[in-house]
């Protein structure tokens, strides 16, 4: 996924990049010196202090709405943890503001001439859609696809592989055939090899909802539920669709467009094929957190 360049010869207007009275970003509340180049994104705000408790030192703690930001150091590595809440709509806020705080001069509102490339790892929880991926497994997303359409809000171009995967998905799953919001995008191969070399690897389906979009029927019948087997059967260039979650594709897309590297790793808490749920999910999540911190 490649951006179509927007050249800023004038300051970015106050209505487009909103700052607080102290000069910090409107939603995240961060200033440039409070953000590291290594970023961990989690969905749950309460997971941020769970991770920062493992730090040797915490420099700052910021909390606004569902966005909690802690920056500190772990074994000599400076890391920022950010909670995004749920969904790609929130990811649009988080990635844009993280990029702005390191790549825009907030005093002049002009993009910097030398840009910073962030390393972004999402630590999440997910449900596998394949019987051979049991609860307690860790899944790393080589690629992700989604229906939210957020990247199409920006001037951008898909590469040949991304366009090919989209066409393959539309061929295999009629439900997707006429959906013009469908997009696909790669994660960072370098981060994958460094952090997730011993994890299950595959294609992640980022869904724009938890119930119907992920095939769950409670009092409403999901159209996706009968299609779970179709997702399971998809293979693209040797990679299988492994899991459902709600943020990965948005992170990959915006990170790619803005020149950052991103990886999603998830602890599998549910197996949708076998209908099994993890009996002690916190143990898997804690192990995954410690693994990422050591390898980041």
pLDDT digits (tens, 9 = 90+) for 134-161: 999 999 999 999 999 999 999 888 999 9
Any idea which of 4-8, 66-70, 101-105, 252-256 has the lowest mean pLDDT?
4-8
Percent of the chain with pLDDT over 90: 84
Task: Name the residue among 102, 112, 114 with its Cα closest to residue 71.
Answer: 102
Q: How far apart are CA 229 and CA 247, in angstroms?
A: 22
Rounded CA Rg of the chain: 19
Q: How far apart are CA 78 and CA 57, in angstroms?
A: 9
Return the pLDDT at 7.
Answer: 65
**Residue 42 pLDDT greater than 90, yes or no:** yes
3-class SS of residue 176: helix
For 193-260, strand residue ranges (E) read 200-206, 235-236, 239-245
> For residue 220, is it left (φ>0), alpha (ψ between -120 and 50) or beta?
beta
Strand pairing report for 77-83 and 38-42: parallel
Q: CA neighbours within 13 Å on the CB side: how many for 53?
A: 7
CA 132 to chain centre: 24
What's the longest Cα–Cα distance across the chain? 56
Return the pLDDT at 5.
Answer: 65
Task: Name the residue among 167, 164, 171, 161 with its Cα closest to residue 256.
Answer: 161
Segment holding 193, helix H or strand E: helix 189-195
Q: How far apart are CA 187 and CA 256, in angstroms?
A: 8
Model confidence at 18, pLDDT cuts 50, 70, 90, reads: very high
Q: Are the C-beta atoms of 291 and 121 separated by less than 8 Å?
A: no
Return the pLDDT at 154.
Answer: 93
Torsion sign (Cα): 106, 70, 72, 136: negative
- CA distance readout (Å), 2 to 99, 116, 156, 192, 206: 16, 17, 6, 20, 20
Task: Name the residue among 1, 280, 252 with its Cα closest to residue 140.
Answer: 252
Q: What is the pLDDT of residues 247-256, one digit of tens each?
A: 999 999 999 9
Q: What is the pLDDT of residues 220-253, one digit of tens each?
A: 999 888 888 888 889 999 999 999 999 999 999 9
Segment holding 14, helix H or strand E: none
């Amino acid at each position: 996924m490649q951006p179509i360049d927007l050249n800023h010869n004038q300051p970015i207007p106050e209505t487009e990049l909103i700052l607080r009275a102290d000069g910090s970003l409107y939603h995240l509340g961060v200033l440039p010196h409070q953000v590291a180049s290594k970023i961990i994104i989690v969905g749950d705000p309460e997971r941020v202090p769970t991770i920062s408790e493992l730090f040797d030192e915490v420099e700052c703690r910021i909390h606004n709405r569902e966005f909690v930001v802690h920056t500190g150091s772990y074994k000599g590595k400076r890391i920022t943890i950010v909670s995004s809440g749920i969904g790609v709509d929130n990811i649009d806020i988080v990635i844009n503001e993280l990029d702005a705080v390191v790549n825009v001069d907030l005093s002049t509102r002009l993009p910097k001439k030398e840009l910073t490339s962030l390393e972004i790892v999402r630590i999440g929880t997910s449900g596998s859609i394949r019987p051979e991926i049991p609860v307690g497994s860790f899944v790393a997303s080589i690629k992700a696809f989604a229906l939210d359409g957020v990247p199409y809000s920006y001037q951008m171009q898909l590469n040949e592989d991304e366009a090919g995967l989209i066409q393959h998905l539309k061929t295999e799953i009629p439900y997707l055939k006429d959906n013009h919001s469908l997009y696909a995008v790669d994660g960072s191969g370098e981060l994958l090899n460094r952090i997730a070399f011993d994890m299950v690897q595959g294609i992640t389906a980022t869904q724009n909802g938890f119930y119907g979009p992920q095939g769950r029927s409670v009092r409403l019948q999901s159209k996706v539920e009968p299609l779970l087997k179709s997702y399971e059967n998809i293979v693209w260039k040797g990679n299988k669709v492994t899991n459902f979650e709600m943020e990965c594709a948005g992170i990959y897309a915006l990170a790619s467009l803005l020149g950052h590297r991103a990886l999603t790793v998830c602890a599998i808490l549910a197996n949708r094929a076998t209908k099994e749920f993890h009996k002690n999910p916190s143990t898997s999540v804690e192990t995954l957190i410690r693994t990422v911190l050591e390898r980041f």
